[in-house]
Chain A
């Protein structure tokens, strides 16, 4: 099963196994990882599952969904590695993915 690592803003790191087919957001919520709120539940209707994808992974994950950047405009301190974790689906190719969590959602 692919392993995903979530690094909290203060540096605390959580590595969990996430089923292929789930999203990076679902992997965080199901494993009670703090720092991802996902208020809208994955509908790309809010910006509270915002993560920064590690640079070396950024081009390996699926491209941004249409409208994702519009929602990211509303996120807390977005940068060029920002993604909504509800739009990244986990697959074997993403085994080892590392995402940094923002200071707040």
Chain B
């Protein structure tokens, strides 16, 4: 069990600057994020797109903004728990017990949700029966490619993941590659390889098809795919892989007893606290009258939530407002002064 003054859920720009603010005022904190990297939407959705409305930064990309925020955190050695999703938040005496899907658990008086629009999850197949095969015959990511050896694998999708795995698995498996249209969005060189493998009979290509239904009991026997013109084909398959990219889901946050408004969490504008004492929400995921979904608003909200954390983390001390230009305490924490 990790004890910390505050736990931040979400490593996007708001979560990162909130961590900075917490450490600056002398509180400890750790950060959990479901993605495998730091940066949230900025890095996952628009790493190369320029942003023009960060104060004092005329233009920067999502990736540059993320790197600058990481640099700003350099004086503080902050522990990030990536590839982990917070599944459980429950009250334990005066503090919160928080547990991730990997089993990491925290005890903290303050939980700050900086979750954007939720966690990134793979887009899944729509036929209902797919759910019961998930993790057995249907996968949305690959952990061990050896299970596919000498099997028939049907791969859905048109991006790099689908193409790369089609090429890779065609070495030792029979591969069907199915995509909803003729064009693929993956790298041209990989696509050329796919076409070569198709000619060589190593990959069967089905375009303008989508998954219609899955047949089988414990394991999949075959699948039906449907063409744009409604024609249906049955393909023998042992495994089905779906690579449709990531979508954002509110996920477990919906179960923590918070007042929600659509996909956002209601907060006050003094502490950015939710209806639960010690749980705050900042950035795109919070809502209040006048809320603007801008990165700069997230910075403001995080700064205020961090101050609110102080009271619960150090009930016997008084928080004193200080400037980084003059305070020797702050300069020490920033590593600028002995």
Enumerate chain A interface residues (CB-CB to B < 8 A). 37, 39-41, 43, 45-48, 69-70, 73-74, 76-80
Contact = CB atoms under 8 A, between A and B. Distances in A.
A73 B158 contact: yes
A43 B45 CA distance: 9
B126 A69 contact: no
Contacts of A76: 123, 126
B99 interface: no
Interface residues of B, number: 24
B171 to A, nearest CB: 25
Given A69-B183, A70-B159, A77 B245 contact: no
Interface of B: 41, 45-46, 49, 117, 123, 126, 157-159, 179-181, 183, 185, 210, 228, 244-248, 263, 293
A40 B159 contact: no
Given A39-B117, A46-B45, A74 B247 contact: yes
A79 B208 CA distance: 9
Contact of B185 (A46, A48, A73): A73
A43 B49 contact: yes
Contacts of A78: 180
B126 A73 contact: no
| Interface SS of chain A | loop
Contacts, number: 48
Contact of B244 (A40, A74, A79): A74
A45 B244 CA distance: 14
B45 A73 contact: no
Nearest to A39: B117
Contacts of B263: 37
18 contacts: A39-B117, A40-B46, A41-B293, A43-B46, A45-B41, A47-B245, A69-B181, A69-B183, A69-B185, A73-B157, A73-B159, A73-B179, A73-B181, A74-B244, A74-B246, A74-B247, A77-B126, A78-B180
A70 B162 CA distance: 13
Given A73-B180, A74-B123, A76-B123, 5 more contacts: A69-B183, A70-B158, A73-B179, A77-B126, A79-B228
